[in-house]
A and B are shown apart, each in its own frame.
Chain A
Amino acid sequence: MSTPSGTKAQSVGPLSGAAIKDMLLAARLPIAIVVTLVLFGLVEPRVLSLGNFRNIAIQASYLAIFAMAQTMVILTRGFDLSLGYTVSLVSVAASMAMVAMGGGDASILYGIGIGILIAAVIGLANGLLIAGIGINPLVTTLGMANMVMALASTISGGFPVTGLPRGLTAEFAQGSLLSIPIPIWFAGLVYALLFLTLKATKFGRSLYIIGANPRAAVAAGIRTLPVLVLAYTLCAVLAALGALLLTARTGSGEPNLGGNLTLEAIAAAVVGGVRLSGGEGGVGAALLGALFITVLSNGMNLVQIDGYLQQICLGVIIIVSLIVNRDVARR
């Protein structure tokens, strides 16, 4: 930023200073992740152990799913502030459904079905209010967040739902396929599907166009209503998937499961470089952002930094990355 503005013109050779700088900036997040790991590793060697890398990968896959879900609506200049509480509600409702069906392994599918269905209804309502009636996404999902939070704590009475099928935790949290843990598979699968959707489908391209310029999208003949409704429904359903995986991990339905997730998911997407003004970024950015935030909180946990101080750090990191991403976008 302090370099003179003429640097761009000088970048002719492949190894000129400006070209290297561009490369470093493009890879700023992987670099930040490695630097963070090394710094925490100097204080606490356990950070760099293989077992901890595995932990980080598993933890990051949950956050990555939520961040990628959030990205689908942020791309359209939208927001889903109800994501966190949708996670809570799905966790509680799916658990209650499984318990009601006897708590055997056969009830798992039933619980999954109920959870996805509830999320789809929430996403559909969000999408219809935003795209159909034209209420601001922020206020719509803020109002929705309160309703969903109230429902989650009411139907559960505020207590965890216990007595879940053993198979749920055994398969979906502790299980692994080809020696890769199941949650990582799911995050990878969601990434692959969304990546292809954004790159190769009409729906995916429509999201970018609506986000970049809503009027141009209408002029180009894009029917924004079905596209936006689908985007919000997809976001909520992916949140439900993450909620079910998290429920499998805790082994109970938790009404407080999603309290901070809305903030963390948005933070991960934004830190990764998804632009809040819409039309820029992708699920890869959300994935990297989620990994960075997980590495950071994992490191802070291992060197035993107070939880409230971690909250302060998260806020500062968000602001710093906003500034960095803005400067990169300006170049």
Chain B
Amino acid sequence: MSSEQATMAPLSVAKPTEHRSSLLDRFLMQGGIVITFLIVAVVATALVEPRFLNRLNLTNVMRNFALLLIPSLAQMLVMTAGGFDLSVGAVVAISSVVTAAVMLVGSGYFPGMEIAIILLSLVAAIGVGVLVGLTNAGLVASLSLSPFMVTLAMMSVLMGIALYFTQGIPIYGVADSFITGVGRGQFLGLPIVLHVALVVLVVCIVMQRFTALGRHIYAVGSDLRSARLSGVATGRTITIAYVLAGILAALTGFLMTSRLGSGQSTIGGTLALETIAAAVIGGVSLRGGVGRAEHVALAALFLAVIANAMNLVQVDSKYQTLVLGAVLIVALAIDRLLLRKRQA
């Protein structure tokens, strides 16, 4: 166990006092709080509302979980690299618009070639994500501007573009096979979007644990100067983190379009908040350098479960925002207080 922990802990958070860590410490470090939250939420929901366990409802939870997990992993990548991405929701919106627009135009030129058109729209959406990621990274890494301000401004720009070209009206004309195959499709009894999200999750876990890029992201996030001094290509690492985040956000927009059946410039409004919530509840530090994909996944599942629970017991959607805000603050307060107790 102890050797496993040693390989798990990124070089940046290895603390000298680790050998004295109690059982509680170890539990907390390995996402214990998130797991507790998740179990409590699942059990409480199942007891209060047995419909929660219906196959249909669980499939629904899994779909929502998947569509929250992918952008949350994007947020995690940027945050562990010491950054921040408020433009996640805007990238989702604009890539949804691009996906639908490319399909609409493409089906006019190449009628009957639906799969090719779907792939083309995916490439276009991802292209937008890469472009946004490069711009964010260029401003943050090369010009060393505040990631918060840069991505806030980027959000304003992207939402403006998406709304200007659509005037807020959904773009219809999405390929039917896209909706039935990807949006509603299932494989091995589970939604396609869940499979996609799980593949992304596994890739993130492998990258964080076993690749140089993963180690570099942690190093850059925990201490930029020491990372540079120890030979890490900091600019390139930060750029890759933002570009990967852009790609994942664009993928989310692509998948959401298949769920909604149209390209919508208004989706993604609360995603910046939700992904930050999933990331920080999952233990990602806002100061960078700390955070694990599997814990973020648990946090995203937790948020998806409580959102579903509130729908089942018919809580007004306005109160759902209130609960999300409260959960975010309470989770962090518990985390802080436990940390303080451990240090005392």
Contact = CB atoms under 8 A, between A and B. Distances in A.
B156 interface: yes
Given A146-B322, A314-B156, A315-B153, A140 B164 contact: no
A177 interface: no
B160 A308 contact: yes
Interface stretch (B42-50, B143-151, B228-236, B246-254): B143-151
A135 B160 contact: no
A318 B149 contact: yes
Contact of A143 (B139, B152, B160, B328): B328
Contacts of B163: 308, 311
A133 interface: yes
B321 A149 contact: yes
**Main SS of the interface on chain A?**
helix
Given A138-B148, A150-B322, A312 B143 contact: no
B318 interface: yes
A231 to B, nearest CB: 19
A143 B159 contact: no
Nearest to B167: A308
A322 B149 contact: yes
B131 interface: no
A267 B320 CA distance: 29
Interface stretch (B22-30, B115-123, B207-215, B329-337): B329-337
A319 interface: yes
Contacts of A319: 139, 145, 149-150, 153-154
B319 interface: yes
A267 B152 CA distance: 9
Contact of A322 (B146, B155, B319, B329): B146
B325 interface: yes
Contacts of B200: none
A318 B148 contact: no
A263 interface: yes
Interface in A99-153: 129, 133-136, 138-140, 142-147, 149-151, 153
Contacts of B154: 315, 319
A35 interface: no
Contacts of B320: 150
Given A150-B319, A322-B145, A139 B153 contact: no
A139 B286 contact: yes
Nearest to A325: B145
Interface string A297-331: 00000000010111110111011001100100000
Q: In which size bucket is the chain B interface?
A: 35 or more
Contacts of B328: 139, 142-143, 146
A48 to B, nearest CB: 27
A143 B325 contact: yes
Contact of B152 (A135, A263, A326): A263
Contacts of A268: none
Contacts of B337: 133
Contacts of A277: 146
B273 A311 contact: no
A315 B322 contact: no
Nearest to B316: A154
A257 interface: no
A146 B321 CA distance: 6
B55 interface: no
A266 B155 CA distance: 14
Interface of A: 79, 129, 133-136, 138-140, 142-147, 149-151, 153-154, 158, 263, 266-267, 270, 276-277, 306, 308-312, 314-316, 318-319, 322-323, 326
16 contacts: A134-B340, A135-B329, A135-B336, A136-B286, A142-B276, A143-B328, A144-B329, A147-B325, A150-B325, A263-B152, A270-B149, A311-B156, A315-B155, A315-B157, A318-B153, A326-B145
Given A142-B328, A315-B154, A322-B149, 5 more contacts: A139-B286, A143-B324, A150-B319, A266-B152, A276-B148
Interface of B: 84, 139, 143-146, 148-150, 152-157, 159-161, 163-164, 167, 273, 276-277, 280, 286, 316, 318-322, 324-326, 328-329, 332-333, 336-337, 340
The 10 closest A-B pairs by CB, nearest first: A146-B325, A311-B160, A150-B322, A315-B156, A315-B157, A312-B160, A308-B164, A318-B153, A143-B328, A147-B325
